[in-house]
Amino acid sequence: MHYLTVAEARDLPGLRLVLSAHVPGPWGEAAKAVFAARGVAYAPVAQEVFGANDDLHAWTGHRNAPVALLDDEPPVAGWLDLLMLAERLGQGPSLLPDRSADRALALGLSAEICAPYGFGWERRLLMLGARFGADEPPADTPASVVAACRRYGYAAASVAAAAARMADIMATLAAQLRRQDVAESPYLVGDRLSAADLYWACFSNMIAPLPAEDAPMPAAIRDGYAALDPAVATALDPVLLRHRDFVYARHIGLPLDF
């Protein structure tokens, strides 16, 4: 994928989407999938993972990704606000079910995957724990990495609790998919694609990376994603990966472009 720099993008009209350049960050990949499903075009803008991103911060108020900027509107960040922007701008079937109860379920499952203290958040803590294995990163850790650890609530106690939280979320998703199997639906909620399906497909790569030919990610990221805590490995029900593969094949498409 070709990325614009902040300097190139900031004065452009239309939708610009800040993404972690050349890595399959789950929040960014999910944002791309949501906008694509709603038929919303955007110009990708590069963010450097664990970089200072001072120019990005000066423009958007954020150092991380994804962030969306539409014309002169305020920046939009966070999975829910990005989803609602895609819903506002897009066309065709909504990524939220029609019935209120189903919509609440789809949003609740999405939050369990994407929101703070959800699946992705806890997986990130486990990966930081594997890297540092202590209450605080070592003294020679780059300042940008230390700042990220603080943003994500990195501490020994939070790392210790992360695997059980992930396993609980995965069990909830697997149970929902099995209920849907009985209803003869391949989707997490109802009988059509919802945002929850896209989020699980994208975030599942944090524990079961797609093959290299479909997602040619850097080896260090692939190794980090593939290294699983025993509780997480046990919770990796085959129904979760069957759903992931279906959503990529039917709705997202492969290989990934990042």
Q: How far apart are CA 251 and CA 245, in angstroms?
A: 10
CATH code: domain of residue 207: 1.20.1050
CATH code: domain of residue 17: 3.40.30.10
Q: Check whether the bond before 255 is cis (ω within 30° of 0).
A: yes
For position 135, what pLDDT does the model report? 67
For position 1, what pLDDT does the model report? 93
Tally of domains in the chain: 2
Asked if residue 243 and residue 115 are part of one domain, the reply reads yes
Structural domain includes residue 244: yes
Residue 76 is part of which domain span?
Answer: 6-89
For the whole model, what pTM was predicted?
A: 0.94
pLDDT digits (tens, 9 = 90+) for 150-176: 788 888 888 899 999 999 999 999 999
pLDDT above 90: percentage of residues in the chain: 85
Asked if residue 55 and residue 159 are part of one domain, the reply reads no
Structural domain includes residue 1: no
Residues of the chain with pLDDT under 70: 134-135
Structural domain includes residue 257: no
* Axis-axis angle for helices 238-247, 156-182 (nearest 10): 70
Average pLDDT, the chain: 95
For position 29, what pLDDT does the model report? 98
Contact in structure between 256 and 214 (CB atoms under 8 Å): yes
Contact in structure between 199 and 107 (CB atoms under 8 Å): no
Asked if residue 81 and residue 124 are part of one domain, the reply reads no
Name the token pair of 76.
């939009």
Residue 81's nearest CA partner among 122, 115, 38, 47 is: 115
For the chain, the farthest-separated pair of C-alpha atoms sits apart, in whole angstroms, at: 54
For position 251, what pLDDT does the model report? 98
Asked if residue 138 and residue 77 are part of one domain, the reply reads no
